[in-house]
Amino acid sequence: MIIWTFSMMLLIPLFIPFVFNRQFPLMVARTVFAPILMKIAGVKLTVNGKENVPQNEPVIFIANHCSHLDIGVLCGSLPVNLHFLGKKELMWTPVVGWYMFVAGHIFVDRSNRKKAILSIAKAADKISKGKSLMIFPEGTRSKSGKTGVFKKGAFHLALQANVKIIPVTINGTYKVWKPGSSQITPGNVTVFIGKPIDQTQYNKENISAFVNEGVNRILENLEE
């Protein structure tokens, strides 16, 4: 899995100058990388709700996060090219930083509030121009498999970019590959793609209600 992942991250961006399409790595991630990764891991992937993803407008996807496999699972489940939101420090991570930068993923500087706000503004501009974004509102992987506290950043971003949020629930990846473990246990993974949450019903004053709806929509499909 590691060899496959890093090989793709290193090689696929090199084709961008030849295909004249910066989203080429994202298309490959969705159509080639993710399906083969699932086979290597022994994952049987079931996806429900693809019809809830609009094809003609950018959105922000939010999902629970409890395994390194989640990114591959989401790339293979969602029928659009995905940009991920990552902390700025990832830019300097060997291979990963190179891939994210070249493929057009979005980095956020969280070193202080002013820089974080500026990063969010830049991200909102990119979303408004057509990039659909995937965010894990918990900020990091759950160590227990249970959903943690959702931060408000994704919801502020949805308001600023004026795009809908689509809740996504991932079941099974924690059992296949737990955080901190090197053991892979083949198994079933199910993804539920929820109906879009209309951002126009919320504003900065009732942002907590926006967050709560996102959390509840993910939890309603989360298996024990």
Q: 35-62, pLDDT tens digit by residue?
A: 999 999 999 999 999 999 998 899 999 9
Q: 126-163, pLDDT tens digit by residue?
A: 888 888 999 999 988 888 888 889 999 899 999 999 99
- Compute the chain's Rg from CA coordinates: 17
pLDDT at 103 over 80: yes
Backbone angles phi, psi at 104, to 5 degrees: 85, 20
How many Å apart are CA 105 and CA 107, to the nearest integer?
Answer: 7
pLDDT band of residue 115 (cuts 50, 70, 90) is confident
Q: What is the mean pLDDT of the chain?
A: 92
What does the pLDDT read at residue 24? 95
First-to-last CA distance in the chain? Answer: 27
Residues listed for the chain = 224
What does the pLDDT read at residue 220? 95
- For the question of whether the overall pTM of this predicted structure is more than 0.85, the answer is yes
pLDDT band of residue 180 (cuts 50, 70, 90) is confident
If we measure between CA atoms, which residue out of 96, 78, 80, 76 comes closest to residue 88? 96
- Cβ contacts of 101 within 8 Å, gap of 6 or more: 91, 107
If we measure between CA atoms, which residue out of 42, 56, 47, 70 comes closest to residue 138? 70
Give mean pLDDT, residues 210-214.
96
Give mean pLDDT, residues 93-107.
90
pLDDT band of residue 119 (cuts 50, 70, 90) is confident
* 35 exposure class (CB count in 10 Å sphere: 0-12, 13-18, 19+): middle
Measured torsion, CA atoms of residues 180, 9, 3, 74, in degrees rounded to the nearest 10: 50
Question: 2-219: CATH homologous superfamily?
Answer: Glycerol-3-phosphate (1)-acyltransferase (3.40.1130.10)
How many Å apart are CA 178 and CA 119, to the nearest integer?
Answer: 31
Q: 10-37, pLDDT tens digit by residue?
A: 999 999 999 989 899 999 999 999 999 9
CB atoms within 10 A of CB 48: 14
